[in-house]
Structure 1
Amino acid sequence: MTTLAILIRHRIRRDRIQIPVWLASIAALLLFSALALQDTFGDVTERTLLVRLASANPAIMFIRGVPQGTGAAAVLIFTVLAFLGVLVGLMNTFLAVRHLRAEEESGRADLVASTPAARAFPPLATLLYGLLVNAVLAVAVAGCLLLAGQDPAGSVVTGLALAAIGVVFLTVGGVASELMPSARAANGLAVGAVLFSYLLRGIADAFGTVSDDGLSVESSWLAWLSPIGWAQKTRPFTEDTLAPLLLSLAAAGVFVGVAVLIMARRDTGASVLATNSGRTTALPTLAGPFGLAWRLQWPSTVAWCVGAAAFGVFGGSLGTAVATSDLGNSPIADQLARLSRGGDTLTEAFISVIFTIIGVVAAGCAIQAIVRMRQEESHVGGELVLATPVSRDHWAGSYIGIGAIAVVLVLATGATASVLAALTVGAPEESIEDSVVAAFAQLPAALLFLAVVALVWSVVPRLTAGLGWGLLVLSVFLGIFGALVGLPDWTAELSPFSHSPVPSGADTDWSGGIVMAGLALLAGGAAFILFRRRDVEST
């Protein structure tokens, strides 16, 4: 077996869990969305109502994309392609950084360099491996669409479009690994590129030109600056054109060239952008573990707040449109009622659904706080702090406390953005009050995730990230998507988000929130007690 083949095999083995989970999740989401759409909007009249509602509201197109007709498959692409593009982009950037910059940062790249492997072999192996992963992705996506009964040509184009997004961001991750001094910084830059691409695509779609019949929209010129926009330009199931993907191949080639030029001019472990040396003396706020925990986590907290604000603007700006639309007893209204599990009006149901998503964002922020605590413990940072007079309770409490504060900030940001958007479009006072109540109603569920993941960390620290994110994904699927794909009602009850209070004026039922708050206190207390009884684990 050649050296290059050994390196590729090594990458496949290292990712034997992560990549299959990514691929299965993307394929399952697409398949379930296709089946749910057929069940919910099987009639062309219903799809026409949905498409015209979307094309008349730029906020919907900013989040989802541009509609291209009323065909079942075309509506599916409109609803999921942009979101799946983000997932594919993240999968590929994480893959590239994990096998490039992280290997240099850990010193494993030096060990490989001491073998007969040429210096260019590890990046080349990563590129070939990434191309293989995206080829499997294309086949999986096309297969799921065919399984859902969609047209073969459109299914293949969709698979290739998503794979093209992946190839572009695979190479973006490679460039980020050359530029940045650490895997964390490289991931931050690469993820920022994915989100910026989504933002450009969203602005281009929101300012697109609506056709006379309101059934299709042509994005503005900004879409040509985004790899996700290029994928949309293929227009699966309507035009099925692959020409825009030539831009993806060209961009990937440019990024590969840039990475090669940088690699040829730097030493292993070095970077183009040097590490900031920082201040000669620490700020007074870093004198204790609480200030340190905040210093480590505030950038990610800001990112989560930005995400919550985007959904808040979406909810606040569309609340009035939903209330005044002629949805009546349409399938859209039925789905909102099922997803919200309550609400006296359609507006209350819509706001409840939007803030459930913001609650998921807040829960993700909480989980990341605990995962960061685990990272500090595993990388000896926790041991160094605990070697000082700082107690275990004080150290762990700092991270958990920062997590709770971050949850409040995320929900407050979402509520503020929703209120400001509602005021901009002239929403009634009741709609604004519902946004505030809905944000507060998500607090118990997010805090419950914070406490439960802290409990997992105190018992089985090595499984903190895996179980934490796995529980969140499972809860989102059962609580939000379960009803859409026809799962039994009892499965939704397993998700904390299904028990969050729903705004209903003075009749809002807070019992579910009170129970979850009590469970969060119990889980948090147990986490402190059990952490005192185990050794600090570093890897």
Structure 2
Amino acid sequence: MNLLGTLLAHRIRRDRLQLALWILGTAGLALMATTAVADTFGDRAERESILRLTIIAPAILVFRGTPNGGGEGEFSIFLIFAFLALLAGLMSTFLAVRHTRGDEEQGRAELVESTPAGRTLPTIATVLHGVLANVALGVAITLAFALSGLALDGSAVAGAAVAATGIAFLAVGLVAAQLFRTSRGANGFSVAVVLAAYLVRGIGDALGQSSEDGLFRTPAWPSWLSPIGWTQRTEPFAANDLTPALLSIGVAVVLVGLVFWFQSARDSGASILPEFSGRDHAGPLLSGSTGLAWTLNSGAILAWAVDAAVFGALATTLTPLVDEIGADAPVIVETMRQFIGDDATLEEAFVTTFFTMVGILAAAAALQVIIRARLEEAHGTAEPVLATPVPREWWLGGYAVVAGVAAVVVLGVSALAAIGGAQTADDPGAVAGEALQAAVAQVPAVLVYLAIGLLLVSLVPRLAIPGAWSLLALGAFFGVFGELLGIPDWMHELSPFSHVPVPVDGEVDWTSGFWMLAIAAAGVAASVVAMRRRELVTEG
């Protein structure tokens, strides 16, 4: 028991900063969202009109949740619960892989296994660590909802539901760590499962049946395929039924049992799934460090591009509904226009809102490439490359080039999907033009995040990964949900996405865009200088 306590304490100490960022950041988003609902949508009639809008445009539910009434608590859950569950899933899978497959990759697990701890006790410590992290997250979210003035019982159910979702995905991450030989493969699979669960839940919500008054919606069967869909059925502040959350806990128990079985059937450092055999001879693409960076990241870039294509297609295929949206929920129209300017047309506001989401995906794709450079450094696999005549700044610069290409690919694919979807509009040429302008407008903001990632890797490498994702999450929340939730203007303007040069009344002012491009260029240059002057940091 003392040995288990030591292993658990080591994990808590090792993750103290990362978990603090995840937990406090997620709870902070919940607090801002619920507080802003009371300020922005204090009128119950306004909230009910927005909920009834989902009957006209059910695709909105893919990114929100299921309506369960027009009260402040129910409306807050409709807006933010699925996003909180998504963050809990990502936090949990990263934690699981880091302390299992990640430790095996770096040789730490083998050292611990040579002690009386053996192979089982470290995994038990990781499970306990993940459960405690999710309990802390659930408590923080409960406090966030309660501090905003919502009922304590509904707040507790919401916190417990998010924690149960995180525990289910913790088990998914542990299984992935057994299946794949590398932490990159395990993390990639885990993130794909979390995003798929979010999307499947959204599809089930969109295909569900609404009540006659439009204030309640019963999800369709696909939502039963998603842990987020299960816990969403707890209906905080409405039914307050924790029974569906038990399904998440039950699945987690089964998967953890599977983890121990897998672990007993494989050698340390091996994996359940065999590695794919590579080519006998490297192609011309692998003749340089930049080509290597592209090869390592091409699969992830493709995944981000597919997601962006969905948003791009929705941006234009839903434009025929904008007139109905304006008539049924004028508060949404007013909010979208505030986001890009009061003179914007309704179609411009609608398309720009969707392409801001695309910009976030493009920034995430770019940051993932930069973070991969940090992982290569931390795992020691960058050293053989740098042992050749490749300078450190050129090595990092290669990842910067690939990150820029990733952003262009994501934005380009979304623009092509939007042009295809524009054919359903009354004026396809005009809508396609607005979508293309909105896609190009995201480039400066995306490059700012690319520069931020490079600076973090160069200046504070140990904090680069949690710092980059945290800054992107805050920028996305302030930029996309800021106006909708009524946060202060100065907080909204902290996000680069609030300064993109989007089309307003047919015209585009690129002043802010040029400033962001200059900031990005300065950040990239500073990161190159910093990388040249520092030594490699091979510890995570």
Superposition TM-score tier, normalisation by shorter sequence: over 0.9
Residues 55 and 61 in structure 1, CA contact (< 8 A), matched pair in contact too: no
In 2, Cα distance between equivalents of 1:329 and 1:485: 15
1:386 maps to amino acid = L
Instruction: Report the counterpart of residue 208 of structure 2 in structure 1.
Output: 208
Q: Which amino acid aligns with 1:355?
A: F
Distance in 1 between the 2:378 and 2:242 partners? 46
Letter of the 2:26 partner, please give it. I
Q: CA deviation at 1:90?
A: 1.0
1:444 alignment counterpart: 444
Task: Return the offset for 1:101.
Answer: 1.5
Instruction: Name the counterpart of 1:187.
Output: 187
Alignment match, 1:416: 416
1:517 corresponds in structure 2 to 517
Secondary structure of the structure 2 residue equivalent to 1:244: helix
Structure 2 match to 1:26:
26
Please tell me whether the aligned partners of residues 38 and 72 of structure 1 are also in contact (alpha carbons under 8 angstroms). Answer: yes
Number of positions where the alignment pairs a residue of Structure 1 with one of Structure 2: 539
User: What stretches of structure 1 of length at least 5 have no aligned partner?
Assistant: none
**Structure-to-structure mapping, 1:494-505, within 5 angstroms:** 494-505=494-505
Change (3 A) 1:159 1:535: closer
Identity %: 45
- 3-state SS, counterpart of residue 215 of structure 1: coil
Q: 1:191 to 1:210 in 2, by over 3 A?
A: same
C-alpha distance in 2 between matches for 1:144 and 1:530: 39
- C-alpha spacing 1:64/1:422, structure 2 compared with 1 (3 Å): farther
Residues 383-532 of structure 1 mapped to structure 2, 5 A cutoff = 383-391=383-391, 394-424=394-424, 428-484=428-484, 486-532=486-532
Distance 1:141 1:320, change over 3 A: same
Q: Which residue matches 1:320?
A: 320
Q: Distance in 1 between matches of 2:429 and 2:134?
A: 49
User: How far does the alpha carbon of each residue in 1:27-79 deviate from its partner, in whole angstroms, 9 at most, with x for none?
Assistant: 11111111111111111210111001123212111221221222221121112
Q: Is 1:59–1:317's contact at 8 Å kept on the other side of the alignment? A: no
Runs of 5+ in structure 2 lacking a partner? none
**Corresponding residue for residue 236 of structure 1:** 236
Structure 2 equivalent of residue 348 of structure 1: 348
How far apart are residue 535 of structure 1 and its match? Answer: 4.4
Give 3-state SS (helix, strand or coil) of 2:61's partner: helix
Check conservation: 1:62, 1:206, Cα contact below 8 A.
Answer: yes
Q: Which moved more, 1:13-22 or 1:135-144?
A: 135-144
TM-score by length of 2: 0.93
Q: What is the alpha-carbon distance in structure 1 between the residues aligned to residue 169 and residue 192 of structure 2?
A: 11
Equivalences for 1:119-158 in 2 at 5 Å? Answer: 119-158=119-158
Q: In 1, Cα distance between the equivalents of 2:5 and 2:532?
A: 47
**TM-score, reference length from structure 1:** 0.93
Partner of 1:294: 294
| Aligned position for 2:10 | 10
* Residues 242-321 of structure 1 mapped to structure 2, 5 A cutoff: 242-321=242-321
Separation in 1, partners of 2:456, 2:26: 26
Superposition CA RMSD, Å = 2.4
Q: SS at 2:277's partner residue?
A: coil
Change (3 A) 1:256 1:532: closer
Which amino acid in 2 is paired with 1:294? W
**SS across alignment from 1:17:** helix
Is residue 360–residue 446 contact of structure 1 (8 Å, CA) maintained in 2?
A: yes
Task: Evaluate the alpha carbon distance shift between residue 258 and residue 424 of structure 1 in structure 2; reply closer, same or farther with a 3 A threshold.
Answer: farther
Change (3 A) 1:235 1:356: same
Q: Supply the distance in 2 between the matched residues of 1:466 and 1:139 (Cα, whole angstroms).
A: 21
Query: What letter corresponds to residue 72 of structure 1 in structure 2?
Result: E
| Distance 1:262-1:461 versus aligned 2 partners, 3 A rule | closer
3-state SS of 1:359 partner: helix
Question: How has the CA–CA distance of structure 1 residues 359 and 72 changed in structure 2, closer, same or farther, with 3 Å as cutoff?
Answer: same
Shift of 1:450: 1.9
Q: Deviations over 1:125-165 (max 9, x none)?
A: 11122222222222222222222222232222212211111
Q: Which amino acid aligns with 1:195?
A: L
| Closer/same/farther in 2, CA of residues 255 and 494 from structure 1, 3 Å limit | closer
Q: Report the 3-state secondary structure (helix = DSSP H, G, I; strand = E; otherwise coil) of the residue aligned with 2:243.
A: coil
Change (3 A) 1:214 1:168: same
Shift of 1:459: 4.3
Q: Cα distance 1:161–1:453, how it changes in 2: closer, same or farther (>3 A)?
A: closer
Bigger drift between 104-113 and 30-39 goes to 104-113
CA contact 1:177–1:186 (8 Å) conserved in 2: yes
Worse-superposed segment, 203-212 or 489-498: 489-498
The DSSP-based 3-state class of the residue aligned with 2:140 is: helix
CA drift at 1:537: 4.6
| Equivalent residues of 1:448, 1:516 under 8 A apart | yes
Q: 1:185/1:416 Cα in 2 relative to 1: closer, same or farther (>3 Å)?
A: same
Question: Offset of 1:527 from its aligned partner?
Answer: 3.7
AA matched with 2:193: A
Q: Write out per-residue CA displacement over residues 394-433 of structure 1, whole angstroms, 9 at most, x where no aligned residue.
A: 4333222111111111111222233333334656542222
Counterparts of 2:238 and 2:494 in 1: how far apart (Å)?
40
Between 325-334 and 357-366, the greater mean CA deviation after superposition? 325-334
AA aligned opposite 1:150:
L
CA contact (8 A) 2:172 2:255 kept: yes
Pick which of 224-233 and 473-482 moved more.
473-482
- Bigger drift between 350-359 and 279-288 goes to 350-359
1:5-154 to structure 2, matched below 5 A, reads 5-154=5-154
Kindly state the Cα deviation for residue 533 of structure 1 after the two structures are TM-superposed. Answer: 4.4
CA drift of 1:382 comes to 3.4
Shift of residue 323 of structure 1? 3.3
Q: Find out whether 1:174 has 2:180 as its counterpart.
A: no
Residue 362 of structure 1 contacts residue 411 of structure 1 at CA under 8 Å; is this kept in 2? Answer: yes
SS of residue paired to 1:64: coil
Could you tell me how far apart the structure 2 residues matched to 1:238 and 1:450 are?
A: 42
Query: Is the CA contact 2:53–2:328 (under 8 Å) kept in the aligned structure 1?
Result: no
8 Å contact from structure 1 (residues 157, 242) kept in 2? yes
Letter of the 1:89 partner, please give it: G
> Aligned partners of 1:274, 1:472: CA distance in 2, in Å?
35
Q: Give 1:518 shift.
A: 3.0
Give distance in 2, aligned partners of 1:452 and 1:124. 37
* Greater alpha carbon shift after TM alignment, 513-522 vs 276-285: 513-522
Q: Residue 486 of structure 1: CA displacement? A: 4.9
The one-letter code matched in structure 1 to 2:447 is L
Maintained 8 Å contact 1:343/1:503? no
| Aligned-partner SS, 1:181 | coil
Q: CA shift at 1:380, angstroms?
A: 3.9
1:419 and 1:375 map into 2 onto residues whose CA distance is: 37
- CA offset at residue 506 of structure 1? 3.9
